Every structure is written in C-alpha cells, then in structure tokens.
Amino acid sequence: MIPYVREIDIEYGRCDQVSPLIRRVTANNPGPFTFLGTGTYIVGRGEVAVIDPGPDDPAHLDAILQAVSGEKITHILITHHHSDHSPLAGPLKARTGATIYGCAVAGHEEADTGEVRMEAGHDHDFRPDISLCDGGVVLGRGWTMDAIPTPGHTSNHICYGLREENACFSGDHIMGWSTTVITPPDGDMTAYLASLDDIRSRKFDVLWPTHGPPIRDVDAFIAAYIEHRQERVDQILGALKAGPARINELVPRLYADVDSRLHPAAARSMLAAMIHLVRRGQLKTDGAPGPDSTYRLAG
C-alpha cells in the first residue's frame, strides 16, 4: 500500500519558507489532477530560480513576483509541458528576463477522450531557451541543480536535484497525494518504471512534488509506487489466464469497485500497461498494441 502524504498547510498566494534554500507559492488551481494547486518553488536568495511557475494566471504571477521583491529571478526551470506547470514561464520571463530551461515535447499527442480527462491539459507551445532533454547541470548563486530526464508521465519530464540539500523537485513523476497518470502515446510505462529506478538510486533525502507536501521517506515511498504498478500488471496477467480479451472487456472486471464513470481513465492507464507487457514479451497481440487490440498471454 502506498503511504500517501496529503497534509499540507497552504494559503493561495502566500510565500512559505519550506527549507533553508526553498520557498513555495501555491497557485489557486485545485482540481482532480492538481490536488490543492500548483506549488511553484523558489530556490536561493538574491538571484533565484523558479521551478514550475504554473498556469497562466495573473494573480499567481503577481504572487511570485511579490515573493521575490528586491531579488532577481535568473532561471525558470520546467518539469514538463502540462498546462498546470509551464504556461506562466513566458509571462514570467517577460517580466524578469530570466532564462527558461526544460525540454520541449517531441511528436504529437492524442487528445484526451472519454468521459474523464486524464490530465489538466497540455501546453504545446512550450519551448525552453535552453534544452535539458539530455540532462545537465544548472548553476545559480548559492545553488546547483542537476537536470534528470525522467520520461514516463510525459516524454519530456525532467526532475531537478538540488545538490545543496540533497533534495529533488519531482514534478508529477512522484507525488505524495496520488499515483502518476501514464497516458500513451506520450506517456510510457516502460520509461516510467526505469525513471523511478533512476530517482530511487540517487538516494535523495526529500522529494518536493509540484502538487502536495514533500515526501521524506523517499526509498520506502518509491518502493511502494513500484509495487503498486506491479500489482496492476499481475491483475492483468491473472485475468488473461481465462483467455484473450480486449481492454474494454477487462476494465469492468478489474475495476469493478470503481465508479464506472472513471472506467475510460482506467482504460487509458491499462493501455500503458499492455504496451509495456507486450514489449517485455509477456503478452501478445496482432499488430501494434492499441486500445481495441485483443491481448493474450505469450506462450
């Protein structure tokens, strides 16, 4: 069972000092994919970095600028291109002259379909000034950030490791309040699991997700995240022992205790798992794995 952490004291627009080098300002955009809102992080003093400035909200822009009154924003770091993370980067750059860092999404994504949206939306226009798709080190006054490519939730997701506090800004890759949505074709379960292993191997003392409170028992939490994904895989493999099936046949069986209105979202998540299992040689299907394919156990 995942040991979720959901308790957090926030007030929209307020700047909270959450560690010696880190401040947080939370945007007023609560929702099913953003929890209580986007937590924008400010790192350093005097000349600072802003991580995930959030949605294009003038009130949130004003709150960030007020939080750094008398200081200079030199760097804007983006974890990924979803609309609750990156759109305010442009307006913030326009007001401060800061350089935007991150990774532009490659290729094209399918629109969310079904009765339940799988995400808060996409910022397809996001283009950083400096690309960190291959990782790298970002230096500021009094702080050092390692850009860690963590594809999975999206193809362009990046976590940022703050060396001075052995802390990681985990974006939507690892969140304390919820599991992470993996939606093909841009989301990729195989890449996601590898990225989880990468972050776990770095032995951070604390994770700062963009939504919700920090995760301090890092290794145990990531282990539970991985175990949860494996349980879902085992359920699929167990169900297919009864014979070949399509995703729309499996979802009502494996998610019988879940509100049927959420089944379209479950089907998208299951597709990510199916693609992963076909790659691993545990499942077979005719042609490329897709939402309408028939899946069967290999061998």
Q: What is the pLDDT of residues 107-134, one digit of tens each?
A: 655 544 444 454 567 887 899 999 999 9
Range 52-56 average pLDDT? 97
Range 37-56 average pLDDT? 98
The domain segmentation of the chain, as residue ranges, is 15-225, 231-297
Q: What is the pLDDT of residue 110?
A: 54
- Radius of gyration of the chain from Cα atoms? 20
161 contacts: CB under 8 Å, gap ≥ 6: 145, 146, 148, 167, 168, 169, 202, 204
Average pLDDT, the chain: 94
Q: What is the pLDDT of residue 116?
A: 45
- Per-residue pLDDT band for 266 (boundaries 50, 70, 90) equals confident
Strand boundaries in the chain, DSSP class E: 15-17, 22-26, 39-43, 47-51, 72-77, 99-102, 130-131, 136-140, 143-149, 158-162, 167-171, 206-209, 245-246, 283-284, 294-297
Lateral strand order in the sheet of 39-43: 15-17, 22-26, 39-43, 47-51, 72-77, 99-102, 130-131
- The yes or no reply on domain 231-297 and CATH 3.40.50.10320 is no
pLDDT tens for residues 71-80? 999 999 999 9
Q: Is the pLDDT of residue 136 over 80?
A: yes
Q: Is the pLDDT of residue 276 over 60?
A: yes
Q: Please state which CATH number belongs to domain 15-225.
A: 3.60.15.10
Q: What is the pLDDT of residue 125?
A: 84
pLDDT tens for residues 182-214? 999 999 999 999 999 999 999 999 999 999 999
- The pLDDT > 90 percentage for the chain reads 86
Q: Which helix (H) or strand (E) holds 230?
A: helix 218-240
Q: What is the pLDDT of residue 106?
A: 82
Q: Is the pLDDT of residue 269 over 80?
A: yes
Q: Are 67 and 27 in contact (CB under 8 A)?
A: no
Q: What is the pLDDT of residue 112?
A: 44
